[in-house]
Amino acid sequence: MLPPILQNLRIPVVASPMFIVSGPDLVIAQCKSGIVGSFPALNAREKDGEPPLLDAWLTRIAEELDRHNQANPDRPAAPFAVNQIVHRSNARLERDIEICHRHKVPIWITSLGARVEVNEAAHDCGGIALHDVINNTFARKAIEKGADGLIAVAAGAGGHAGPQSPFALVQEIRDWFEGPLLLSGAIATGRAILAAQVMGADLAYIGSPFIATNEANADAGYKQMIVESGAMDIVTSSLFTGVSGNYLAPSIRNAGMDPANLAEADASSMNFGSGSSKAKAWSQIWGAGQGIGAVRGIEPATDRIDRLAEEYRAAKEAVSRR
Ligand SMILES: Cc1cc2nc3c(=O)[nH]c(=O)nc-3n(C[C@H](O)[C@H](O)[C@H](O)COP(=O)(O)O)c2cc1C
């Protein structure tokens, strides 16, 4: 049984947080279209001496969604989520938790580390906490530390993907966990959303297809590369952040490197002190998951979500006809 906050979505989808790419424009469009929108807290970066941008973003999101709900009581906006990178190098974590707590953020997504106090802060302001994991051991630890739900990040996902098949990962977690379970990795069609549910997940967690939307904060060349690329163009490497992640091979080639011969980096080189590991050095290296073959153009997020909703409806009908 899903917690009330995750019930009544238009389709069972949470749009995942993406470094740099996800900001208030995208989140507001996603929520207004009926799916959970999210962004990493670290994306809100003010200049030295300025007031916290995270504060301003949360105020704007709440106000715009409120206005939408008053004007459209028959199709209210979905709730939004904020992602916290729980890594020792994230020097802003404590401050960002305080801001999110003050704004009563309804859904907290934690990555890279499970910590009791982050889950407690989420619960204390009436929210829920979802933790992303790449295997069953991390899944158990996250629940022991007080997370309400899990995001199973399977092979093929954009960003820091896991190595496991979604079938294996969902099966092992569902063996003991009855709470909210999201599946992440290369989900880009209505059929795939339904497949995630048939496998045992409650909701699909979708990132890369939203890079090629008008509202995404991404270079025009990045959006176009998503449109032109498919699964064969995705390479896995640890070089750019210190942990294994999935990237667009053409962007690596454009940066003068051979995607087939990348050096390995070790996890100790991860650093989120200034936002993300080696962010500046690798700003032209673009991340994406294997599902992008389904992305045919750059369009408003609401059009992409309408299509997913129609495909999902048609997939259910087709399955019941069979
Ligand atoms: C460009 C990019 C940046 C990402 N940044 C983050 C991040 O900052 N925090 C996080 O928890 N996940 C991040 N992710 C992972 C996503 O949350 C999610 O697991 C993934 O996008 C799902 O796979 P898909 O892209 O194939 O749909 C990122 C993914 C991409 C593609």
Domain boundaries, the chain: 8-218+291-321
- CATH superfamily name and code, 8-218+291-321: Aldolase class I (3.20.20.70)
* 67 C-beta neighbours (distance < 10 Å), count: 12
Pairing of strands 245-248, 203-206: unpaired
Assess whether the C-beta atom of 245 lies below 6 angstroms from ligand 1: no
DSSP 21: T
In 3-state terms the chain splits into helix, strand, coil percentages (rounded to 5) of 40, 15, 45
pTM of the complete model: 0.96
pLDDT, tens digit only, all 322 positions of the chain: 899 999 999 999 999 999 999 999 999 999 999 999 999 999 999 999 999 999 999 999 999 999 999 999 999 999 999 999 998 889 999 999 999 999 999 999 999 888 999 999 999 999 999 999 999 999 999 999 999 999 999 999 999 889 999 999 999 999 999 999 999 999 999 999 999 999 999 999 999 999 999 999 999 999 999 999 999 999 999 988 888 899 999 999 999 999 999 888 876 766 666 544 455 557 899 999 999 999 999 999 999 999 999 999 999 999 999 8
Helical segments of 147-219, H only: 166-174, 190-199
Closest residue to atom 5 of ligand 1, CA basis: 18
Dist. CA 25 → ligand 1 center (Å): 17
Dist. CA 74 → ligand 1 center (Å): 31
Assess whether the C-beta atom of 206 lies below 6 angstroms from ligand 1: yes
Residue 321 to residue 76: CA distance in whole angstroms = 31
Assess whether the C-beta atom of 16 lies below 6 angstroms from ligand 1: yes
Closest residue to atom 1 of ligand 1, CA basis: 287
Assess whether the C-beta atom of 14 lies below 6 angstroms from ligand 1: no
Using most ligand atoms within 8 A of CB, pick from 14, 16, 308 the residue to mutate for ligand 1.
16
The Cα-based distances of 89 to 94, 145, 229, 272 in angstroms read 12, 20, 33, 5
Cβ atoms of 205 and 186 closer than 8 Å: no
Residues 168-224 pLDDT 10s: 999 999 999 999 999 999 999 999 999 999 999 999 999 999 999 999 999 999 999
* 68 C-beta neighbours (distance < 10 Å), count: 15
So what's the pLDDT on residue 305?
98
Q: Which helix (H) or strand (E) holds 313?
A: helix 301-321
Encoding tokens for residue 49?
């001496």
Residue type, 266: D
Q: What are phi and psi of 225, to 5 degrees?
A: -65, -35
Dist. CA 318 → ligand 1 center (Å): 30
Q: Find residue 83's DSSP bridge partners.
A: 40, 109
Residue 19 to residue 15: CA distance in whole angstroms = 13
